[in-house]
Structure 1
Amino acid sequence: MIAAYPLQWPEGWPRTKSYLQKNGRFKHDGRWITVFAACDGVLVELDRLGIKRDDIVISTNLKTRLDGMPRSDQREPDDHGAAVYWETNKGVRRVMAIDRYETVADNIAAIAATLEAMRAIDRHGGAQILDRAFTGFSALPPPAAARHWREVIGVPSTVRDMPSVRIAFRRRAAEVHPDKGGTHEAMAELNVALAAAEKELNG
């Protein structure tokens, strides 16, 4: 199952180097777009494509609300990427992911804008052409987590408090972050491990 938090970047999709990311300048009602408005844009576009809300996951490094959508009232995470997973009424799983902008909100808004552009294909070219256009967005199942979170973060079983885990997490992140010579895959594994630690230790 795809998790809304932390970010589940689709396997095999290239990542944008942080120094190449830019300001998206997406606006909503005359203001810079919020995470809430950007997510709403994605839901609206997918609804117009016949995708039900329950078949959509917006995955980011922002913690989620009770409905599974990213919360707006949070500090911008180090990884601004966003991935949207959905399943068609034919059971085909799709994904679209963008990380070229400097905020999560802008990357989600960019996905909404891309969906809107592709929906125009449906209006002008028909469903068959739209299906072909979406072929490159087929979603593969995420790789199964092979290692326990303690092993990934580097904390012994005697550590049972989140402050100590977060200290170890930051230390490990300084080693595996792409900007420090690490890889996006290692950082993604570390983020998943932190989420697992929070779930286990905080209940």
Structure 2
Amino acid sequence: MSAWPDDLTVAPIREWPGELTRVRQRSPFRAGLDDTLDVLEREIYQLTDTYAQRKSAQMLIAVPIGAMWRLDGRPRANAIAEHPGVIFSIESKHGHLSYPCDTFTTWQDNLRAIALALEALRKVDRYGVTKRGEQYRGFLAIEATAASAGFDTAQTAAEFLARLTDDELVIPIGPNVARILLQRAQRRTHPDLGGDAATFQRVSLAEAKLREAGLL
């Protein structure tokens, strides 16, 4: 099972920014998804100064909710996408960054391209060429869009999960309560187990908010 970064929220793409690439390339990459995720996790830490910034990391992929998603809300390593485009965004120490890529024929290769691009941009600072992360400026204005809106607070996220599981919510919310609510909601709503895809996506967004609040 691929080790997805804990700080990364993964969701389906609602809208691609601009036109999709018509003629894509076969990638030169040889490394697998696990190695890509290791690189991406390292770059998330390098791009951020705070816990909240790390928790803002988001990857959007054109894999519809269903059997190609794991119970933990991550796409399977062999998931087939409607198109291979990937968007990675993060609230970094340099500001909001967003990187769309659909150059290559698979989403796995496009995710690797983004991870390696982040690594290459960071190395510019290593040699003193830039002082304030100027190499990231070109990626500040691109906006990524997700399948549905998230939650304003951890409490609203937990309340949503409690309604799904018919549980009485205990306030203040602790890590044990949050974890149990999430696990029950995932089992009840996962499409592989007879649940609704749209509701399962909302569960994933609730998970992201609870993680952001340090409850998972």
| TM-score calculated relative to the size of structure 1 | 0.56
Structure ranking higher in helix proportion: 1
Match of residue 102 from structure 2: 99
More divergent stretch after superposition (41-50 vs 98-107) = 41-50
Cα deviation per residue 1:146-190 (whole Å; 9 max; x = unaligned)? xxxxxxxxxxxxxxxxxxxxxxxxxxxxxxxxxxxxxxxxxxxxx
SS across alignment from 1:107:
helix
Match of residue 189 from structure 2: none
- Contact in 2 for aligned 1:4/1:68 (Cα 8 Å): yes
Match of residue 155 from structure 1: none
Structure 2 vs 1, CA of residues 118 and 54 (structure 1 numbering), >3 Å: closer, same or farther?
same
Q: CA deviation at 1:144?
A: 9.5
- Please give the alpha-carbon distance, in whole angstroms, between the structure 1 residues aligned to 2:126 and 2:103: 28
Pairwise mapping of residues 44-193 of structure 1 onto structure 2 (< 5 A)? 44-50=42-48, 53-62=54-63, 64-65=69-70, 68-74=73-79, 76-89=80-93, 92-124=95-127, 125-128=129-132, 130=133, 132-138=134-140, 139-140=142-143, 142=145
For 1:84, give the aligned amino acid: F
For 1:133, give the aligned amino acid: Q
For 1:37, give the aligned amino acid: D
SS across alignment from 2:10:
coil
Match of residue 21 from structure 1: 24
Structure 2 vs 1, CA of residues 37 and 66 (structure 1 numbering), >3 Å: closer, same or farther?
farther
- Please give the alpha-carbon distance, in whole angstroms, between the structure 1 residues aligned to 2:119 and 2:15: 21
- Please give the alpha-carbon distance, in whole angstroms, between the structure 1 residues aligned to 2:84 and 2:73: 18
- Please give the alpha-carbon distance, in whole angstroms, between the structure 2 residues aligned to 1:5 and 1:112: 17
- Contact in 2 for aligned 1:83/1:97 (Cα 8 Å): yes
Structure 2 vs 1, CA of residues 102 and 201 (structure 1 numbering), >3 Å: closer, same or farther?
closer
SS across alignment from 2:87:
strand
SS across alignment from 2:143:
coil
For 1:50, give the aligned amino acid: T
Residue identity (%):
22
Gaps of 5+ in 1: 146-196
- Contact in 1 for aligned 2:24/2:104 (Cα 8 Å): yes
Q: CA deviation at 1:113?
A: 1.1
